[in-house]
Amino acid sequence: MTDAIAIRPLTQPPDAVVAVPGSRSVTNRALLIAALGEGRSTLDGASFSDDTDAMAAAWRTLGVPVAEDAAALRFVVDGCSGQWPVVNAVLDARAAGTAMRFLTAALCVGRGHYRLDGTARMRERPIQDLLDALSQLGARVRSEHDTGCPPVVIDARGLPGGTATVAGDKSSQFLSALLMAAPYAQRDVTIAVRGQLIARPFVDMTLGVMADFGVAVERDADLRFRIRSGQRYRGRTYRIEPDALGAHYFFAAAAVTGGRVRVNGIGRHSTQGDARFVEVLATMGATVTRTDEFIEVIGPTQLHGVDVDLNEISDTALTLAAIAPFASTPVRIRNVAHIRLQESDRLHAAATELQRLGVAVSEHDDGLEIQPSPVQPATVQTYDDHRVAMSFALIGLRVPGIRIADPACVAKTFPDYFARLESLRR
């Protein structure tokens, strides 16, 4: 791609059925569980992106057979029952937080010596809370440079098990990583969550995928989780539903342009918490239809402002920020302080880029307040963050002169995003 891409305003509201890739979050959980499991797993409808490629490549480096067919959206994994054929390896999680956190825990259940690294930004993202919890379970794992961040060094001698406490207020991926590795510990594992558990729907997703592959978790609300030792994931054919996060950009596009967008394959029973973003759009005046087979959004003549806690669906915060200037009243986004620790400091990035576009915005410790504002043309900087690029591109559907810098960064999760955005044109 070029250094920047121009987003052309739509000449009329969209009326479209949009296909989105499989869920990246479910795919990386299923890849890890299939690799840990016994027998062959076929993952259909999978996401093919930088993040899932990083996970699949790591398993191949460890000697786990992972075949892929991108045209068929399929991975085939031959599980190794928690014993990795390669016992000394250097692994690259790249920019994939799921790969870094999930692999760190999973590697502890086998035997070998491993080093897990990533991008420069990954080396700034905290992981010490996960390392501390794994140490409480008897793992030998540490931050190589004692920064509390990657690279991570693992001297794996099996995972003894027991009881661990993990912080819930920085990343739900820490808890998910522990949960998925826990069945392979030598004795039962109990995990207690300290503080608020953020992004709870992603933990629900983890538990759902674990159950689908044959492992049960006893749950005491969001405070304690118990996993019985000796359980094993069983290989199976597994269908991955379309990505609710990928879909939410197109639902927002319908809302901000007064158009209609339907996404099939995500319905009222979706296991993905981010499907709830349409509830925010409904509060802002959109008409939302949810059936067992699809979700459809029809945008209003004028969006209304909203004051909303997005802690549980925090990956949608940038999208709400991007459409907020077009609302009739202010939009307040709350309780998402943790997104400062993601691919970028997303709150500061959003505030900076909205200001670049002439929008009145206040940055708070835990969120943003955005005033209805005319938007001026500019090139949006994206901070090597796919969600900044995808969210702010929506502004260009309404306003001429919007360009998105470094559009190739969307390959992390949605490689053909801009082509699919263009498909809204009619």
d(CA 355, CA 145): 37
How would you class 256 by CB atoms within 10 Å of its CB: exposed for 0-12, middle for 13-18, buried for 19 or more?
buried
Q: Which of 157, 142, 218 is nearest to 183 (CA)?
A: 218
Type of residue at 201: P
Rg (CA), the chain: 21
d(CA 322, CA 214): 41
Complete DSSP assignment for 65-100 = -EEEETTTTEEEEE--TT--S-SEEEEE-TT-HHHH
> Active-site residue 51, yes or no?
no
Which regions of 195-240 does DSSP assign to beta strands (E)? 218-220, 224-227, 237-239
Type of residue at 56: A
Pairing of strands 162-167, 260-264: unpaired
Pairing of strands 189-194, 218-220: unpaired
d(CA 103, CA 383): 25
Cβ of 11: how many Cβ atoms within 10 Å? Answer: 7
- Of the candidates 92, 212, 274, 315, the residue annotated as catalytic is 315
Q: Which of 95, 107, 105 is nearest to 59 (CA)?
A: 107
Residue 59, both tokens: 């398993």
Q: How far is C-alpha 270 from the geometric centre of its chain's CA atoms? A: 15
Asked if 96 and 114 count as a contact pair (C-beta separation under 8 A), the reply is no
Dihedral angle over CA of 371, 376, 382, 385, nearest 10? 40
- For the annotated catalytic residues, the residue numbers are 315
